[in-house]
Structure 1
Amino acid sequence: MTEPSTPSAPHAPAPPAADVLGVLEDLRAESAVLDGLLTGLPAEGWTRSTPAEGWTIAHQIAHLAWTDDWTALAARDAEGFDAALGARFAELVAAGADPVEEGAREGAAAEPVVLLARWRAGREAAREALSAAPADVRLPWFGPPMKPASMATARLMETWAHGQDVADALGVTREPTARLRHIAHLGLRTLGFAFTVHGLPAPERPVRLELTAPDGGTWALGPAGAQDLVTGPALDFCLLVTRRRHRDDLALTATGPVATAWLPIAQAFAGAPGKERPPRA
């Protein structure tokens, strides 16, 4: 792959407890958009390459299904999650395999109709498990434990990001929606992590986002008095922090040294940054 595809975002934002169901409904809507791209897709279409090197459309959906399975387990049975994680990952690491890549490879080997049914069932199971989990309890995960709202936000981010890869493979343009606000919020909250994963000290100065929303309004995130500022379309910022587009292909403007240094390395997901996608121009 040209960039990591990890199953969580570090330190994902946790909306108030009352908003958990709202995030889950947005996750359901985002999943439905991707599902619509897959419904009726012939078997050979699932083997089409996506912009993620070595991953077909089947790999993208298998990864989402794999992560949804782990999400449901984490929300329902923390001890079972820890036991399964220890056993499975120890086995794969001993064999020299990457757990994320292996999960995608195994899932992609299934017939498309079976894989699609698995993803549909798994995402609903994850949604139900997260909605039933106590809002203030941190659930075990591959990285730091997360509250249900944080995990739901991470699932929405990944569903949208991997859906972008599928859309690109199919030559489809998706309409941006207000659901991008979750991803923008997550992208800002992971600013410090982006520096850390590149071996740089986390900046002490805050950054403010002033993004043009899909409806033409403005999303202002971050302290109003911040001297560092990022402006531009919300869609472009979300494409950047999910590393689905190169910085040069996006209409984003950075003001201030922290914002300027951040944009080329920004990422909303956990794990190593991986190889950057080349400019499209």
Structure 2
Amino acid sequence: MNTLKLISFHAGDRDRFGLLHDAGVADLGERTEFASLRSLIASPKGIEAARLIAEAAPVDFKETEIAYRIPVPDADKIICVGVNYADRNAEYKDGSELPKYPSLFLRTRGSFTGHGQPLMLPPESPQFDYEGEIVLVIGKGGRRIPEENALSHVFGLTVCNEGSVRDWMRHAKFNVTQGKNFNHSGSIGPWIVPVDDADLSALSLSTWVNDELRQEDTVGRMMFSFSYLIHYISTFAELMPGDLIATGTPTGSGARFDPPKYLVEGDVVRVRVPGVGTLENPVVREQV
């Protein structure tokens, strides 16, 4: 069975969703009953319908004819996990013990862009940074989900560069919202791979800036597992189909170098999760 790659994209003057296969892109909006990728994710029939079309491999567009959007542009929630690798906690050099609970914050949909689209370098700060992450896509919603059943609520996986504006994250005492929500400062994509097509226990992540490897780690070294994150988050928030959970970044972001290696115009950030995909974006200065 070939890996299914589900995408949201823009082509022919409108937004669409579909799947990418070897020959090109099939428009699932024109070939199924679903109105969006989020509605396909929410339906028990969605994945089967997509696989049948993938087997037939029709081509509605060449990949060069589309612009990638974030995979679930209408996600109800994008929930991000802060420090989730033990080495990341040590990076802060504050002598703190390992956290008992995950650090969480929300990001707006507009703070992200799709694969191949520019990351916007804001003129307000010289401290624009990258953070490669693995993203869980919720398929079956729920509240107070038991940890032992949590993975059954995952529809699939995608990749994230959870870009940050570091000095704006320190503007307030108790939140990082400002520095995490600059327009198009992060990216998600290129596609969603269904959970049945991936090995959750063996995932790894690497981040490059240009051709320099900056981050590399495995999910086995996370402090809070996928199952625990879903359980914990669903205790206070009802998870919905299509919700995205960015599960944290390894050590090696630009702020942790001495001197720091922040992003500049012309850089290219590439985040790879083998078996899921490679997300790549150029850095472009925002014009005001």
TM-score greater than 0.5 by the shorter chain:
no
Q: Which structure: greater strand fraction?
A: 2
Q: Which structure: greater helix fraction?
A: 1
Q: Could you state the TM-score of these two structures normalised by the residue count of structure 2?
A: 0.28
